[in-house]
Amino acid sequence: MIARLRDQGIQDEAVLAAMYEVPRHLFVDEALASRAYDDVSLPINYEQTISRPYIVARMVEALRGFSDMKRVFEVGTGCGYQAAVLAHVFPEVCTVERIEPLYERARKLLSDLGIRNAELRHADGSNGLPDKAPFDGIILAAAAPVMSRTLREQLAIGGRMVLPMGTQEQWLYLIEREASGFRESRLEPVKFVPLLMGKA
């Protein structure tokens, strides 16, 4: 998988090391474990998916931007795989999941793996985490129809946000916050589940 990620253009060694360290097969159903390292997204129940390895690596690499970030916020913990990768790259990770069974499963998995620098919450991620803001980085694992002003305002000056946006046609975006405002870059087409509001 790591060799394939390199071939696909992932260059950040910290991200590649994290992808190597996190046992992806533990985050999918046992029946799908043999496909865990294939470059495909897989179902994790509740109409949610675990993103394919390339997309996880691409988003985390874009988020980091080869810079030293301390605190990052993930919207959409899902099965916890991306949170585990983030916890290997950044000192402090805050992650929220709106679907309670997924939250409980991810919390147990990350605890079993000895990951102590990720704080998980069962919450509506569209509100962000005001009590923990500002964040050096924000990453969304679901597609928003438009840019969330709430999340954007929780980004620190110099911070970066990576998210899929769109409904029918989705693109991955990088948002950078500068003292003078926000800079937006469109990276590549993607396919994500939609960002939903409220807890479930």
The residue written with tokens 């390339």 in the block is 54
Measuring CA to CA, which residue among 2, 7, 5 is closest to residue 20? 2
Residue with tokens 């990720």: 118
- For the beta carbon of residue 70, count every other beta carbon within 10 angstroms: 11
Degrees to nearest 5, angle at CA 100 with 175 and 88: 50
123 vs 131: CA distance, rounded Å: 13
**Is there a catalytic annotation at residue 51?**
yes
Nearest in space to 57 (alpha carbons), one of 35, 37, 27, 33: 37
What is the phi/psi pair of residue 151, to 5°? -70, -40
Of residues 34, 41, 51, 111, which has the active-site annotation?
51
Q: How many other C-beta atoms can be found within 10 angstroms of the C-beta atom of residue 105?
A: 19
Q: Select from 191, 188, 182, 132 the least CA-distant residue to 161.
A: 182
Pairwise CA distance, residues 29 & 183, whole Å: 39
Asked if residues 72 and 192 have their Cβ atoms less than 8 Å apart, the reply is: no
Residues classed as catalytic: 51
